[in-house]
Chain A
Amino acid sequence: MMEFDVIFGNAARAAFGPEAVILALAAIGLNVHFGYTGLLNFGQVGFMLLGAYGTSVSVATFGWSLWVGIPVGLALSAVLALALGIPTLRLQAVLFAIATIAAAEILRLIIGSTDAIELTGGPLSISFDASAFYDLNPYAEGPQVRYGAGTFAFTGQQLWVITVGWTLVALAGLAVFLIVRSPWGRVLKSIREDENAARSLGKNVFAYRMQALVIGGVIAGLAGVVDAIKTSGADPNGFRPQVTFFTYTALLLGGSATCTGPVLGAILFWFLREWIESFLRQLAAEAWLPQPISDSLSGSEGVISVGVVGLALIMLVLFRPQGIVGNRTEMLIDDG
């Protein structure tokens, strides 16, 4: 028997869990880069990597307080934006994309290498003591304490992470909303549409792009910080280029260049992904399924769901470029 309530509960838990928080923050940042400014940033995961490792290394290796580590992580993301943006912001879109994906990979390879073990834990990942954060947990905890119903339930500690996480998402979303509805945001959009037109109207395109890159990068860095706190550490394998592509999927799913799009997209992304995996897990256990099929299904749920992400990305671009909350006519306008 397929237990659809269990599947739904699992999916809902993923949709509101820490993974969705991390994705939502990364997508909010990417929305500033890509949605509003038109920067084809394919290295978003690099900012997350520095946010996570900046925090982890500060606490685990240098023994600093977590409250110092977090700003260090965010600062490193900002530094990456500057170091990356100064030479590459003038490149044409596709070259910028390649430069950013390469930069993020360089960081991952170096941080994850055996040579960096003393500092970052190298390929073995790093873990630190995040009790400074968990000590503030106001929710009661215990072996039996769960918040929620059925499979849609969290422990007190998880609930604390997601409470803080969604608060951060709301704050980041609000901050982005405030700056993009202003004349500053209008300049960003004009650069997205045609940088030379913006230039001819006296806008310093490079400076605006740089501001956008830093803001979006720091928000992605925040996503990395949440990731680090959630797992009390960081693992280089968690920061592969596909994380950036997942972020694009979430953003396009919700609707790029909209305020709620990245958040709704992230929630929906994790809901659908977990729904598919959970569904496949149950399907594999079904008795009526031929043995070879159920055999090949079990253990492949993750592989299939990521494949579905790829398919979704293609379908979104082709059939619903505006996402769930975007404006369709805006998307159908020719570039001219």
Chain B
Amino acid sequence: MTVDEYPDADAATVEEVEPILRVRSEPGVSKPDPILTVEGVRRTFGGLVAVDIDHLEVQRGVVTALIGPNGAGKTTLFNLLSGFERADRGRWAFAGRLVSGMSADRLARQGMVRTFQLTKSLARLPVIENMLLGAPDQMGERLRIAPFRSRWRDQERDNTERAGQLLEQFNLMHMRDELAGTLSGGQRKLLEVARALMAEPRLIMLDEPMAGVNPALAQSLMQHISLLAMSGVSVVFIEHDMNVVAGISDWVVVLAEGRVIAEGPPWNVIHNDLVIDAYLGRSGRPAESTGREESS
């Protein structure tokens, strides 16, 4: 599927997406307008190299898929970039600002918001409270202001309204006041994405957002992701299903053994010999044993 086949794509959107289409398909290539630039990032676990990236750029306002066989280091890369794990070395910049080594919460406040492979819905809080947590800059989250309701009530009302809209979009409105722990696995995934969107991210990083979601919900989630990019949010997501990747991504980055072995538009990458080798483990070493997949 090419960008021209997007059902709702109007002329302006194609204009926006177009620059990435002119980029050459080679690992570590420069992009016209990168929101995230990664340089020399490396992480080892007891001698095993989990991530070792020379150079990688993520284009602003497009959907980038991160694919690779099990143990390629995809989640570890997410963890490093989002501040949940410490890199052995390397630097990376987000929206033109050097953020390597910054703590996870500060990165999130900068607008780089991630979700997790194993959902982290806050089980004993109602769905709506889960959503409200995502809202940025709530004054009432400061201890000094918290006791005085009048100081945060208006903001809370606005946030509740926005949360309601997102819940409508994600078909979760009927669960608004239920505890998040009562949701199905797929609904939790949706809730986590919706909650991340509450944080008004500039870059949203989704770790296997479709895993465990039933096909109908997955379809609507894919639509959301496409719409997100059109509204100017940059998206990076990890995915195993090639159909999903081909369906919604503008750009695909392939990781194997912690390195970027290929990148380019989906139709270009998926048939790349190196990628097929990496997935089928024909590169001499079995792909399964070369690194350790990070799970939660």
**A and B directly contacting (CB within 8 A):** yes
Chain A interfacial positions (CB closer than 8 Å to B):
175, 178-179, 182-187, 189-190, 192-194, 196-205, 211, 329-330, 333-336
Given the complex of chains A and B, what is the CA–CA distance between A119 and B103 in angstroms?
Answer: 43
CB closest residue in chain B, given A194: B120
Question: Nearest-CB distance from B26 to chain A (Å)?
Answer: 32
Chain B, range 163-206, C-beta contacts under 8 Å to A:
179, 181-182, 188, 195-196, 199
Interface window among B15-23, B144-152, B208-216, B259-267: B144-152
Quick check: is B141 within 8 A (CB to CB) of the other chain?
Answer: yes
- A interface majority secondary structure: helix
Question: Nearest-CB distance from A258 to chain B (Å)?
Answer: 12
Q: Are B124 and A193 in contact (CB under 8 A)?
A: yes
Contact of A193 among B122, B138, B140 (CB under 8 A): B122
Given A201-B133, A202-B136, A336-B121, answer yes or no on A178-B147 (Cβ-Cβ < 8 Å).
yes
Counted as pairs of residues, one from A and one from B, with CB atoms less than 8 Å apart, the total is 113
Q: Are B147 and A186 in contact (CB under 8 A)?
A: no
20 A/B residue pairs, CB under 8 Å, sorted by A: A175-B147, A179-B146, A183-B138, A185-B146, A190-B133, A193-B123, A196-B116, A198-B105, A199-B108, A200-B84, A200-B108, A200-B196, A201-B108, A201-B134, A201-B199, A202-B113, A203-B133, A211-B143, A333-B124, A336-B181
Quick check: is B109 within 8 A (CB to CB) of the other chain?
Answer: yes
Q: Which residues of A contact B179 (CB under 8 A)?
A: 329-330, 333
Task: Kindly list 11 other residue pairs between chains A and B, CB separation below 8 angstroms, not including A201-B195, A333-B124.
Answer: A179-B147, A182-B152, A194-B120, A198-B105, A200-B84, A200-B116, A204-B105, A333-B181, A335-B123, A336-B119, A336-B181
Question: Nearest-CB distance from A185 to chain B (Å)?
Answer: 7
CB closest residue in chain A, given B118: A336
Question: Nearest-CB distance from A58 to chain B (Å)?
Answer: 28
Q: Are B146 and A184 in contact (CB under 8 A)?
A: yes
Quick check: is B125 within 8 A (CB to CB) of the other chain?
Answer: yes
Question: Nearest-CB distance from A51 to chain B (Å)?
Answer: 21
Closest 10 pairs between A and B when the two form their complex, measured CB to CB: A333-B181, A183-B140, A202-B108, A197-B120, A184-B146, A182-B146, A193-B122, A202-B109, A178-B147, A199-B104
Given the complex of chains A and B, what is the CA–CA distance between A192 and B114 in angstroms?
Answer: 19
Q: Which residues of B contact A333 (CB under 8 A)?
A: 123-124, 179, 181-182
Question: Nearest-CB distance from A2 to chain B (Å)?
Answer: 44
Quick check: is B142 within 8 A (CB to CB) of the other chain?
Answer: yes
Given the complex of chains A and B, what is the CA–CA distance between A186 and B133 in angstroms?
Answer: 7
Chain B interface size band reads 35 or more
Given A183-B156, A189-B124, A193-B125, answer yes or no on A205-B119 (Cβ-Cβ < 8 Å).
no
Q: Which residues of B contact A175 (CB under 8 A)?
A: 147
Chain B interfacial positions (CB closer than 8 Å to A):
82, 84, 103-106, 108-109, 113-116, 119-125, 129, 132-134, 136, 138-143, 145-147, 149, 152, 156, 179, 181-182, 188, 195-196, 199
Given the complex of chains A and B, what is the CA–CA distance between A333 and B116 in angstroms?
Answer: 20
Given the complex of chains A and B, what is the CA–CA distance between A335 and B116 in angstroms?
Answer: 15
Given the complex of chains A and B, what is the CA–CA distance between A288 and B48 in angstroms?
Answer: 76
Given the complex of chains A and B, what is the CA–CA distance between A199 and B133 in angstroms?
Answer: 11
Given the complex of chains A and B, what is the CA–CA distance between A184 and B146 in angstroms?
Answer: 6
Q: Which residues of A contact B181 (CB under 8 A)?
A: 333-334, 336
Given the complex of chains A and B, what is the CA–CA distance between A175 and B147 in angstroms?
Answer: 8
Q: Are A184 and B123 in contact (CB under 8 A)?
A: no
Q: Are A186 and B132 in contact (CB under 8 A)?
A: yes
Given the complex of chains A and B, what is the CA–CA distance between A175 and B125 in angstroms?
Answer: 22
Given A183-B141, A183-B146, answer yes or no on A330-B124 (Cβ-Cβ < 8 Å).
yes
Q: Which residues of B contact A334 (CB under 8 A)?
A: 123, 181
Question: Nearest-CB distance from B102 to chain A (Å)?
Answer: 12
Q: Are A202 and B122 in contact (CB under 8 A)?
A: no
Given the complex of chains A and B, what is the CA–CA distance between A190 and B131 in angstroms?
Answer: 11
Given A189-B124, A189-B125, answer yes or no on A179-B152 (Cβ-Cβ < 8 Å).
no
Given A182-B140, A333-B182, A334-B181, answer yes or no on A200-B146 (Cβ-Cβ < 8 Å).
no
Q: Which residues of A contact B132 (CB under 8 A)?
A: 183, 186
Question: Nearest-CB distance from B90 to chain A (Å)?
Answer: 21
Contact of B122 among A194, A205, A211 (CB under 8 A): A194
Q: Are A203 and B105 in contact (CB under 8 A)?
A: yes
CB closest residue in chain A, given B79: A196
Given the complex of chains A and B, what is the CA–CA distance between A183 and B136 in angstroms?
Answer: 11
Given the complex of chains A and B, what is the CA–CA distance between A197 and B114 in angstroms?
Answer: 9
Q: Which residues of A contact B147 (CB under 8 A)?
A: 175, 178-179, 182
Given A178-B147, A182-B147, answer yes or no on A199-B84 (Cβ-Cβ < 8 Å).
yes
Q: Are B105 and A199 in contact (CB under 8 A)?
A: yes
CB closest residue in chain B, given A202: B108
Given the complex of chains A and B, what is the CA–CA distance between A202 and B139 in angstroms?
Answer: 14
Q: Are A196 and B156 in contact (CB under 8 A)?
A: no
Given the complex of chains A and B, what is the CA–CA distance between A183 and B132 in angstroms?
Answer: 8
Given the complex of chains A and B, what is the CA–CA distance between A329 and B156 in angstroms?
Answer: 26
Given the complex of chains A and B, what is the CA–CA distance between A184 and B181 in angstroms?
Answer: 21
Q: Which residues of A contact B106 (CB under 8 A)?
A: 202, 204
Q: Which residues of B contact A183 (CB under 8 A)?
A: 132, 138-141, 146, 152, 156
Q: Which residues of A contact B103 (CB under 8 A)?
A: 199, 204
Q: Are A184 and B141 in contact (CB under 8 A)?
A: yes
CB closest residue in chain B, given A330: B124
Q: Are B152 and A198 in contact (CB under 8 A)?
A: no
Q: Which residues of A contact B134 (CB under 8 A)?
A: 201
Given A175-B147, A182-B140, A182-B147, answer yes or no on A200-B119 (Cβ-Cβ < 8 Å).
no
